[in-house]
Structure 1
Amino acid sequence: MAKSMTRPSPKRLRLNDKSVREAAPETDRDYQIFDTEVRGFSIRILRSGSRSFALDYRFAGAQRRMAIGRWPEWTVTAARERARDLRREIDEGRDPLGERGELREAPRFSNMIDRYLDEHVPHLAPTNASDQRSMLSKLVAPHWGRKLVTEITPHDVAKLLNIIAKGRARPSKEKPNNRARKLQGPKPTPIRANRVGEVLRKMFTLAIGWDWRADNPASGFKKRIENERERFLSQDEIGKLAEALDAAKDQRGAGIIRLCMLTGSRVGEVRQARFEQFNLELCSWSKPAASTKQRKIHRIPISAEVAAIVRQRGLVVPKGNPWLFPGDTPGQPVKEIRRFWINIQKDAKLPDVRIHDLRHTFASLLVSGGASLEMIGKLLGHSQMQTTQRYAHLMDSPLRAGVDAVASMFRPRPVLVHDADAEPVDRKSA
C-alpha cells in the first residue's frame, strides 16, 4: 500500500534565540517555525543555513508574507515587537506589504533632479543652467540622491546648506605650469549655500505641483549674509589698464575688455555680440534676450568710442562672419578670455581686479557724473531696483558737496578781536 503524500504541518513553539540558533537546516527544502505568541510571526530556516523573520497574514482574501529582518541582526525580541506593530496595522485595515511596495516606487530625490533638469533648466540662460546642473550633481545628489522626496525635512535642508556654507577643499596651483598641486583647506562659501537654497526652494515648489509632496521644506531656509564685493578702479588704474590693452598682441581680447569697460556690459554679452545688433547711426546696441541675464532685449546707447571699436572690428573680421569677436572654432564667437585677462592683470599690475569689476567701475563713473540710480539700472540691465541700490553709497560724494555748500552759507564769519592787554592804538596818529 502506497504511503499517502501529506504535507507536514508547520512547527509551532514560542520562539527564542536558543531555539532559532539550534534549528537545523534541511537539505531539500526551506521551512518555517511559527511563534505561538504572535499570530503569523515565524522564523524561516533556509537550506543555506540563513535565518530570517517574517510575518504571514491575509489581506483582501490574499495570502501575504512580509520579511522583517535577518537573524542575528534582528533578535527574536525585536522581531516579535515589530511583528506586533505590523499585526496592529493589519487589524486596522492597512496592508503594510503593499505600502512598502508603494514606497519602493515613490519618487526619490534623484528622480526629482532628473525631472527638474529636463523640464525647468532648459528654459534658463545657458550659464545659469550649467551652474545649476553642477551644484545639483556635486553638492546635493551625493547627500540626498537615494532619499525619498517625501523624506526630506527642513532640518535636512538646513544641515545640507551648513555643509555647503563651510566649503570644501579644492586643488590649488602652486606653479603656472600646473605640475605641482596641493589641497587647500576648506574656504567658506556662504553665497554658494544661498544659491543652492534658492534652487531647492524652486525644485520643491515644482514638486508640489507634480503631487510628489504637499509642502516645501526649503521655503524658509536660512539665508546667509552676502557681502557683495565692491572693487572700483581708480583713474590711475584705468590708465594702466588702457596702456596694457593698447600694448596687447591679442587685440581681439583687448576689444572685448574695452567694450566691457565702456558699456558696463557682462563679458558674456560682449563675447556674443553680433554686428547686426549695433546701430552706428543712432549709436545704440540692442542685446538679444538670449545673451542677457534677465532674458529680455536690452537696448543701450553707446559712445563714439564704442562705435569706433565696432567699425574697426568690421575691417578685420572676414566678410559674412556675424560675430564681432569670432572665435577659433568656425561659426562660433570667442569662448573664453580668461588666459588673456590673466596676462593683462600682470601687465597692468592689477592682480585683484576681475573683469566683472569693470562693470562696477562703469557704474561708479556714472554716479560721479551725476547719473541717477534709475539711469544706472537701465544702462546695466538690472531687472530689480534692489540690485542697483548697491551703488547708492557712491552718491555720498556729490550729496556731501551740496551739504557743504549749504553749510558754508551759515558758517560764522571771522570777527576781528582786539587784545585787551595791548596798548590802545591812536587812530588819529595812525
Structure 2
Amino acid sequence: MSKDRLTKTAVERAEPRERDYMVWCGKMQGFGCRVWPSGKKTFVAQYRVAGRERKKTIGTYGVLTVEQARKEAEKYLALARTGQDLAGEERRARAEMSVGELCSEYLRHGVALKKGSTVKTDIGRINGHILPLLGRKKISAVTRADIERFMHDVAKGKTAKDRKIEKGRSIIRGGEGTATRTVRLLGGVFSYAITQGYLTANPCAGVKKFPDKSNERYLTQDEIDRLGATLTVAEMVGLPWHLNDGARSKHRPKAEQNLREKVSPHVTGAIRLLLLTGCRLREILHLKWREVDFQRKDLDLPDSKTGRKVVYLSDAALEVLRALPKVGTYVVLGKQPDKPRSDLKRPWERISRHAGIEDVRLHDLRHTFASVQVQRGASLPMIGALLGHKSTSTTARYAHLADDPLRRALNAGSESLTGAMLPKAKDDRE
C-alpha cells in the first residue's frame, strides 16, 4: 500500500487492467479507489466492525471529486472506530425499500453496460408491469410464489388492461413471451440488489418460466417477388393513396398526382438492404457512408447489438448502395442530413399492404435472409457469422429450415433403393 495521499493525479494515472484493483490512500486507512477493467473508477470506504469487514461504495470518480469522496468516506470510517456500522445500517434500511424504489436505483446505477435501446425496453416493462403489480411491495418480502403469480398475471395481460398511467409511461401487452422476459428482467434487478448487499437471495431463482415461442415469419419466394415488384412501383410510379388510410390531411397528394404517392429511394433502398444483408433495422438506419467499404465489399459497424460487427455484402447489396443518393452522413436519409432516420413504420405499412404481406414485420426480413441461406445449403455457423450472432444457440432457431435440403438429398440418394422396394406396374411384371 502506498504511503502517499490519494489525489486526483493518482486516480487519473491508474490504468485499467484485466481485473479490477484498488488504489489505497496512504494517509487515510480504509479509503481508496477501485479501478474497473472498463475504466470506471469508484471510491470505497473499507473497515471492520465486530469482526465483520464492510466495504461501502462512496461514488464514481467524475461525479465526485477525490476530496468530496474523502469527506464522505471519513463519516463511515470515523463511526467504525466507535463500533458503529453505518454501511450495515444503510443496507438493512435498503432491504426495506420497495420494488419500485429498487427499480429506480437499478435504472440509475445498474444498466451501465446495457445499450440505450435495451434500457428503453427495460423501462417499458418496469413501468408497464413491474410497478403496477409489485412496485409497492418491500423487496425483503417478495417471495418465489409472488414472482410466479406475477408472471401469470403478466401473461394474462392484467397489467395492460384499463390502466391509467402517467404521461411518458408505456403499456406493454401481456402474453407468455412478455411475461418470461419481464421475469428475467426482474431477476436482473434483484441480482443487482444482491451485489449491493440489500438481499442475500434472489426470489426469481428457480421460477419455471414459459417456454419461448418463436414468432418468426419467413417470406416465400412468391412473397419476395411481390415485395420486390412493390418497391419498384413505390419509387417509380407511387403507391395508391387508398393504402395510406389514417394519414393526416396535410400528407394527401394533389388531385393532379392521381392519388399516388412516391416513396423515397432511401426508404426502398433500406428495405432492400434489410433483406439482402440480414441486418437489424437500426444497423441499416444508423449506417454511415464512412462505414461502407465498396472495395472490400463489407460494412464495418462499430456498435451493433452484439458489439463491433462486419457485414459481408453481396453484389446485389452493393448495387443497391451504389444507387442510393449520397446526402449527408447517413446512408438512409432522415429528416435532417446529419441525423439518422428514426423508423420505417409508416412507409412499411403501405408497402407491405400493397405486396399482400401485412402480417410481415421488418425484422422478418432478417429471418427471411437466414432462411434463404439455409435452404441454399449454408451451414448454421456460416449463417451465424453472416448475421453477427455471438451464440450458436441463437442461430439454432433456423435448423428446422434445413429439412427441405435434407429431404432432397434423401430422395436423390435413395434412387437405387426405390427401384427395388416399390411395387412395379403390371406391365413391368409381365
2:380 maps to which of 367, 373, 376: 373
CA distance in structure 2 between the partners assigned to 1:282 and 1:193 by the alignment: 44
User: Which one-letter code corresponds to 1:288 in the other structure?
Assistant: P
Q: Does 1:262 align with 2:255?
A: no
Residue of structure 1 in register with 2:359 after alignment:
352
5 Å matches for 1:321-360?
321-329=328-336, 331-360=338-367
Q: Does 1:312 align with 2:323?
A: yes
What is the aligned length? 297
* Matched residue SS, 2:339: coil
How much has 1:113 moved relative to structure 2? 0.9
CA deviation vs aligned residue, 1:345-397 (integer Å, no higher than 9, x gap): 12111111111111111111101211000111111111211111111111111
Residue of structure 2 in register with 1:282 after alignment:
296
2:267 maps to which of 245, 248, 253: 253
* Matched residue SS, 1:412: helix
How much has 1:103 moved relative to structure 2? 5.8
How much has 1:105 moved relative to structure 2? 8.4
| 1:275/1:310 contact within 8 Å kept | no
* Matched residue SS, 2:299: strand
* Matched residue SS, 2:419: coil
TM-score normalised according to structure 2 size? 0.65
TM-score normalised according to structure 1 size? 0.65
| 1:260/1:266 contact within 8 Å kept | yes
5 Å matches for 1:106-185?
106-168=96-158
How much has 1:122 moved relative to structure 2? 3.9
Residue of structure 1 in register with 2:218 after alignment:
232
User: Which one-letter code corresponds to 2:269 in the other structure?
Assistant: G
CA distance in structure 2 between the partners assigned to 1:154 and 1:417 by the alignment: 72
* Matched residue SS, 1:123: coil
User: Which one-letter code corresponds to 1:129 in the other structure?
Assistant: V
Q: Does 1:293 align with 2:305?
A: yes
User: Which one-letter code corresponds to 2:292 in the other structure?
Assistant: F
CA distance in structure 1 between the partners assigned to 2:135 and 2:231 by the alignment: 48
Q: Which has the larger radius of gyration?
A: 1
Residue of structure 2 in register with 1:395 after alignment:
402
* Matched residue SS, 1:297: strand
| 1:166/1:187 contact within 8 Å kept | no
2:285 maps to which of 245, 266, 271: 271
How much has 1:311 moved relative to structure 2? 2.2
CA distance in structure 2 between the partners assigned to 1:104 and 1:208 by the alignment: 11
How much has 1:188 moved relative to structure 2? 4.9
CA distance in structure 2 between the partners assigned to 1:325 and 1:216 by the alignment: 45
How much has 1:281 moved relative to structure 2? 0.5
How much has 1:153 moved relative to structure 2? 0.7
How much has 1:147 moved relative to structure 2? 2.1
1:206 maps to which of 189, 192, 215: 192
How much has 1:187 moved relative to structure 2? 6.7
| 1:285/1:299 contact within 8 Å kept | yes
1:303 maps to which of 310, 314, 328: 314
User: Which one-letter code corresponds to 2:270 in the other structure?
Assistant: I
CA deviation vs aligned residue, 1:125-168 (integer Å, no higher than 9, x gap): 22211010111122111222232211111111111111101114
Among all aligned residue pairs of Structure 1 and Structure 2, give the percentage whose two residues are the same amino acid. 31
Residue of structure 2 in register with 1:72 after alignment:
none
User: Which one-letter code corresponds to 1:312 in the other structure?
Assistant: A
CA distance in structure 1 between the partners assigned to 2:356 and 2:94 by the alignment: 60
5 Å matches for 1:7-18?
none
| 1:277/1:286 contact within 8 Å kept | yes
CA distance in structure 1 between the partners assigned to 2:412 and 2:135 by the alignment: 64
Q: Does 1:417 align with 2:429?
A: yes
User: Which one-letter code corresponds to 2:353 in the other structure?
Assistant: K
| 2:270/2:284 contact within 8 Å kept | yes
2:208 maps to which of 205, 222, 243: 222
User: Which one-letter code corresponds to 2:156 in the other structure?
Assistant: K
5 Å matches for 1:36-51?
none
CA distance in structure 2 between the partners assigned to 1:387 and 1:336 by the alignment: 25
How much has 1:200 moved relative to structure 2? 1.1
* Matched residue SS, 2:284: helix
Residue of structure 2 in register with 1:361 after alignment:
368
* Matched residue SS, 1:388: helix
5 Å matches for 1:17-28?
none
| 1:152/1:217 contact within 8 Å kept | yes
Change (3 A) 1:305 1:347: same
Change (3 A) 1:196 1:337: same
Residue of structure 2 in register with 1:31 after alignment:
none
CA distance in structure 1 between the partners assigned to 2:394 and 2:266 by the alignment: 31
Structure 1: 5+ residue runs without aligned partners?
1-98, 172-185, 419-430
Change (3 A) 1:409 1:212: same
How much has 1:254 moved relative to structure 2? 0.8
CA deviation vs aligned residue, 1:173-229 (integer Å, no higher than 9, x gap): xxxxxxxxxxxxx97511011111111111111111111011000012221022202
CA distance in structure 1 between the partners assigned to 2:283 and 2:111 by the alignment: 20
